Amino acid sequence: LHSLEKSSKPVNLYGHLRKNEKLCYVLAAGVMNHDLPCIGKLYSDNLPAEGYFCGLLKDDEITFHVNIKKQWHKADVVIVDDNDIYKRTPFSSNLLDVLGKTRVVFFGVGSVGSRIALGLARSGIKNFRLIDPDIFSVENVARHVCDMTDVGRYKVTAVRERILRINPQAQVEIFPYDILSQRDKTKNNAFSDVHLIIASTDRKSVQLRINNECYHRSIPGLFVGCYDEARAGEVLFILPGITKVCYECLRGGTRQQEKSRQYDYSTAKSHEDYEGEPGLNAAINQVSDIAEQHAIALLLRNEQCEMSRLIKPHNNLLFISSGLGEGFYYLRDAYCFTKSFEVIQPIMKEPWTNCSTCQKSL
């Protein structure tokens, strides 16, 4: 090794060094803009002066060495090809190619958004924008993909790290602030080249604004929410100009209900307090998982594949009951779940006539 000193510039290697297990996982090389640790440098014909890990390229063969207590040991290295990640998805290489080129924007990476984001990263989506001004707190641990090691961080930072652990080559842009109140240029950048917007902000006022942006910019949207301690949830997708009912249509139809029941979100003191409502992790996940399948279907809706059949414009709304959902009334008491784990798909043919979004902007 010593004979290879003094030569060309090293290339940084990123991944995980498991000294205890004598394993190095090289997940990426070169210049990275994310949180994977740099575990060493690759010298084509040089040995690092310092450091605990190196790869040596000699006669077209790379051997890796790890320095433990100033002694070099040959190391087993797994070099990951990101195509291998998706070998066990149900998608052909053509479909993976389509998914890999799409970009999904998340408004909200709380319990719902974070789970869907990681799910999409596992399914072949590689380009993400995460928008959420919230800081991850101890109370979030019970129902979020992140954990105690993330307390005090922006949710978008922590979720980006989780996505990059799934696919280190993914592109994840983060916005730890309210993008909707930014100047037009910043806002337009956040919405540029986007194939799907997933809104799970837990705030009706924000969801309504996102709905408006979807229509204004002709971008498909997916709205996900849980109600009454996640006894029930809803998934609504919109394809501007194609689906008949938008998020405002849905909420507009429930405005009268607010008088008698006071709030959509039952136990919350106000709409804006809803995010503090408790809910069982598994019940929230059930709703998120149904939404996630619709997200993939929306991205593949123009492709010849089974997933695209999920997208039926007249069936763009699903009500879902969880384990405790039996007897739960929904939407002006028009729908009642008769059992646990039920999915109701009302046929939505007519928009709300007073809708200021889909009835005026088109």
Residue with tokens 């101890």: 138
CA dist 61 → 55, 58, 71, 305 (Å):
10, 5, 22, 41
Contact between 249 and Zn ion (CB under 5 A)? yes
**Which range binds Zn ion by CB under 5 A, 114-122, 217-225, 240-248, 336-344?**
240-248
CA dist 308 → 90, 105, 334 (Å):
13, 20, 29
Whose Cβ is closer to Zn ion: residue 6's or residue 360's?
360
Residue with tokens 């003094």: 6
Whose Cβ is closer to Zn ion: residue 283's or residue 348's?
348
**Which range binds Zn ion by CB under 5 A, 53-61, 126-134, 200-208, 242-250?**
242-250
Whose Cβ is closer to Zn ion: residue 225's or residue 351's?
351
Q: What's the rounded Cα separation, in Å, for the pair 42 and 70?
A: 18
Contact between 24 and Zn ion (CB under 5 A)? no
| 343-344/335-336 β-pairing | unpaired
Closest contact distance (angstroms) between CB of 225 and Zn ion is 16
Whose Cβ is closer to Zn ion: residue 86's or residue 223's?
223
| 61-68/38-43 β-pairing | unpaired
Cross-strand bridge partners of residue 335:
330
| 53-58/127-131 β-pairing | unpaired
Contact between 238 and Zn ion (CB under 5 A)? no
Contact between 246 and Zn ion (CB under 5 A)? yes
Closest contact distance (angstroms) between CB of 362 and Zn ion is 10
Residue with tokens 């510039």: 9
Q: What's the rounded Cα separation, in Å, for the pair 230 and 306?
A: 29
Closest contact distance (angstroms) between CB of 109 and Zn ion is 26
- Choosing from 202, 248, 264, 292, the residue that interacts with Zn ion (CB under 5 A) is 248
Closest contact distance (angstroms) between CB of 355 and Zn ion is 3
For Zn ion, the binding residues in 319-358 under the rule CB under 5 A are 351, 355, 357-358
Judged by the rule CB under 5 A, the positions of this chain that interact with Zn ion are 246, 248-249, 351, 355, 357-358
